[in-house]
Structure 1
Amino acid sequence: MTTQVVILAAGMGSRLGRSLPKPLTELSDGRTIMQQQMENIRHAFGNDAHITVVVGYKLEHIIEAFPDVNFVYNEQYDTTNTSKSLMRALRASSNGGVLWMNGDVVFDPAALVRASELIVRDQSFVSVNTSSVSDEEVKYTTTAEGYINELSKTVKNGLGEAVGINYISAKDKPVLLHHLTKVNDQDYFERGLELAIEQDRLLVEPMDISDLYAVEIDFAEDLERANLFV
């Protein structure tokens, strides 16, 4: 089975203070963030994985670094957020479910191996951990049945962090795409998922990876923490 994978890499990533797109930030082992992601994808799904990168800011640097994958252009990268980048990627995808990740997450290769079990079942999921969270992080709550309920940075009494690695099943994809089209330009993709859960009763499982590392790189201290793992 060919797995469709999307990496969201259109943003400017200005908070890290680098001139290149944030996914091209070098880690302590010499790889870039995106190179680590690509290797993790190949480790879990083999060379048959169909990888698409959503590009925008200084896109030529990413295209030059990874010429063998597919690209979708978010021409409004400077005025839109991840909801609209994911919208473009889902529109360009083939039939079937789509795994996607933020282009600034450094994570344990075992996370995608674990994810493959849910992908085989074609079960929509959000990767989460149960660590303490700050205002900057996307938090989540669950329903009594154990599915994702709330999913945003403003969640109160969150159970932990949503780490930016997610999957939408083939049957759920049209519903998510509908809501991504409707949300505000500055919304994160999580808002589309929240609305799909609220309005269409989408069943999204939390996939707990608390025992594995996953660090979203927003600031220099995040990069330092990620470098402790790679």
Structure 2
Amino acid sequence: MTLQTVILAAGMGSRLGRSLPKPLTELSDGRTIMGQQHDNIRAAFGRNARITTVVGYRAETIVDAFPHVEYVYNERYDQTNTSKSLLRALKATGKGGVLWMNGDVVFDPRVLGRAIELIERDQSFVTVNTAKVSDEEVKYTVDAEGYIKELSKTVKGGIGEAVGINYISSRDKRALIAQLGRVDDQDYFERGLELAIVENGLLLEPLDISDLYAVEVDFAEDLERANQFV
């Protein structure tokens, strides 16, 4: 399978307190967060999987570390959020479906293996963890058919958390691009997905990976937890 993947890595990641972009944070096994992501992508989809990385803050350090992938530059990385980084990436990736992930997620290689069936069906999805629901994380609810209904940090009565690894199908891509263009600069990309659900009829499946690890590294304690798995 030749798959287009996107890694969102434009932000400053200041909460972790490092001078380098957060995706270049070294893990206990010697790889960086982004290096682990690249390994997982190649293991699931082969050496020919296309990786496009959205860079901004200290972009040259990421390009130097991973010179053999494609890059999109978000020159407004310090004024915009993930919605605008994803918008730039989707516009640069042609007509096919796209798997994307936040550049600070350390995750079990089996996550992508579990996603293959949905990707082969070209079914849009978000990966979710139903084992915990923290107030500060992106939460979700589902409709009567089991598709995502709400998806944001402000969801009330969320039944789980979004993990930060997602797929938009070829047929849904245009709608998401349009909605990402509408949302505020400081919105997360989940706002574009929510609008596409309401206004475009996007059917977004939750892919449960609660039994696998996926750690979004925002703080030092997150990095410590991620290092327990790798």
Bin of the TM-score, shorter chain as denominator length: over 0.9
Identity, in percent, stands at 76
Matches for 1:58-77 after TM superposition, within 5 Å: 58-77=58-77
User: In 2, distance between residues paired with 1:150 and 1:21?
Assistant: 30
Corresponding residue SS for 1:119? helix
Listed as ranges, the matches of 1:139-158 within 5 Å are: 139-158=139-158
CA distance in 1: counterparts of 2:133 and 2:200, whole angstroms: 28
Q: Calculate the aligned-residue CA RMSD, in Å.
A: 0.6
Which residues in structure 2 correspond to 1:39-78 (within 5 Å)? 39-78=39-78
Please tell me the residue identity of whatever aligns with 2:29.
D
Match in the other structure for 2:16: 16
Structure 2, unaligned stretches of length 5 or more? none
Matches within 5 A, 1:1-230: 1-230=1-230
Residues of 1 paired with 2:150 and 2:131: CA distance?
17
Query: What secondary structure does 1:162 align onto?
Result: strand
* Paired residue secondary structure (2:46): helix
Contact in 1 for aligned 2:105/2:217 (Cα 8 Å): yes
1:3-35 alpha-carbon deviations (Å, 9 max, x no partner): 000000000000011000000001111110000
Match of 1:95, SS?
A: coil
Aligned counterparts of 1:220 and 1:18: Cα–Cα separation in 2: 10
Residue correspondences, number: 230
Deviations 1:65-110 (A, max 9, x none): 0000000000000000000000000000022100000000000000
| 8 A Cα contact 2:125 2:166, kept in partner | yes
Separation in 1 of the partners of 2:176 and 2:94?
15
TM-score (norm 1): 0.99
Task: In structure 1, list runs of 5 or more residues that go unmatched.
Answer: none
Q: Aligned partners of 2:49 and 2:95: how far apart in 1?
A: 14
**Following the alignment from structure 1 to structure 2, what is the Cα–Cα distance between the partners of residues 221 and 84?**
28
SS in structure 1 of the partner of residue 34 of structure 2: helix
TM-score w.r.t. length of structure 2 = 0.99
